[in-house]
A and B are shown apart, each in its own frame.
Chain A
Amino acid sequence: MINVSKIKKGIVIDHIEANCGYKIFSQLGLDKLDDVVVLMRNVPSRKMGIKDLIKIETDIELDFTILGLIDPNVTINYVEDGILKKKEQLTLPKMIEGILECKNPVCITKHQKIDDIKFYLVNEKTKEYRCEYCDTKTSL
């Protein structure tokens, strides 16, 4: 296995479903960071068989809302001085703004330019969200 050194300060996104790593990488806009970012794919995992993993060596705060939507099973590890400071389990966000798009062709949001459309979680299992305008259910 390729050896990727431990990070001193930053974030490790662990337990990413295999093949979802790149999707998360791009959705989080990690390609725009100047910091060291490592995307590892198909890493052997006891729990999952294989998994993807992302290490980010950075000081900046990242918004992980979108992560809960793509893969709610990931773990986020915050590392400081080379040791694990905080482990965070993701949940589906109760409300998301500006990521989803309404699927209803006669929804007003499809016909007028509206910023920051809110979607509210209605079903954790199916990851369905409700459009705040027309109540139509939508998922990513």
Chain B
Amino acid sequence: MFKGRHLIEPDGFTVAELEEIFRLADSIIDTPDTYSEKCKNKLLASLFYEPSTRTKFSFDAAMLRLGGQVIGFSDPNTSSAAKGETLKDTIITISNYVDIAVVRHPLEGTAKLMAKHSLVPIINAGDGGHQHPTQTLTDLLTIRYYKKTLNNHCIAVCGDLKFGRTIHSLVKAMSRYEGTKFIFVSPEELQIPSYIKEYLDPSCYEETNSLDDAIEKADVLYMSRVQRERFVSEYEYQRLKDYFILTHEKMKKAKDDMIVMHPLPRINEISDEIDTDKRAVYFQQAKFGMYVRMALILKLLGLE
């Protein structure tokens, strides 16, 4: 049963429960029109204490496509937070008006705090560098859609593996599926932290600093942003960036049915020439993000 539950962290649902959400998402993808009035008379609160247009649009579009309505804010300065009201009081009040709420906040643990006091389901849309579970659901649905299963994939993750929250959640989530192998591709400075590797059987992953080495074996290539600020000097950045920039040349070595994913926005780690490659699915990935949020909203409201 999903009705009335919250989604605060990526492993908030079991593998079986995730499968249930993905099956509903499949159905929405196949026949979106049959869902267009499912959330009639339902109201979603969209509480963005820091701006994130991309995530906010994805949730808003999901609710509107279900026939529901959205109220909220995307600038904390206009909200009651600016008047010094506690988050606890804010969510108790707002949850009296709405049926479900989406929360984004720069401080870690905020969604959990709100879930404790809310009268309606809370979806965490990012709490600082901590969790962003619907991004993970998006990634899983995308892999499942193109690969037909979530088992037995070799997933190469490339970029900033040290600070990348999206990557950490993806690795933890995919490690729950049978036969998953990881190749961690990063410069030494940005290697995946040991507390993430602790989740994994050492036979399930390898580490390299060369995308060229990894790309041949990968079923899924998950690219992520590498920020200039992470490097001690511009020289270091220039020296290393070629290792983890995906080019047409590198794609030649990849399998025909490999997929390239990216949580977006990208900076320069995927060159534009890849966009037309049929293996590039990062823009579709954004669309799956909306579908999986539609499925999630329906489940948490107990409408499906």
Inter-subunit contact B113/A106 (CB<8 Å): no
Complex CA gap A133/B107 in Å reads 10
Partner of A133, one of B86, B88, B112: B112
Q: Which range holds the interface residue count of chain B? A: 10 to 19
Do B112 and A106 have beta carbons less than 8 Å apart? no
A99 at the B interface (CB under 8 A): no
Q: Does B109 contact A (CB under 8 A)?
A: yes
B88 and A107 within 8 A (CB):
no
Classify the interface of chain A: helix, strand, loop or mixed. loop
Q: Mark B74-94, 1 if CB is under 8 A from A, else 0.
A: 000000000000111000000
Query: For chain A, which range describes its interface: under 10, 10 to 19, 20 to 34, or 35 or more residues?
Result: 10 to 19
Contact B109 A134 (CB under 8 A): yes
Q: Given A133-B113, A134-B130, A112 and B108 touching (CB < 8 A)?
A: no
- B110 interface residue per 8 A CB criterion: yes
Cβ < 8 Å to A, chain B residues 101-119: 105-110, 112-113
- The reply to whether B113 and A114 form a contact with Cβ atoms under 8 Å apart is yes
| A116-131 to B contact mask, C-beta < 8 Å, 1/0 | 0000000000000001
Chain A to chain B contacts (Cβ below 8 Å), 18 pairs: A106-B106, A106-B128, A106-B129, A107-B107, A107-B109, A108-B110, A108-B113, A108-B127, A112-B87, A112-B88, A112-B113, A113-B86, A114-B113, A131-B109, A132-B109, A133-B113, A134-B128, A135-B108
**Closest A-B pairs by Cβ, 7 of them:** A133-B109, A134-B108, A108-B109, A134-B109, A108-B107, A108-B110, A133-B112
Q: Which residues of A are at the interface with B, using a C-beta cutoff of 8 A?
A: 104, 106-109, 111-114, 131-136
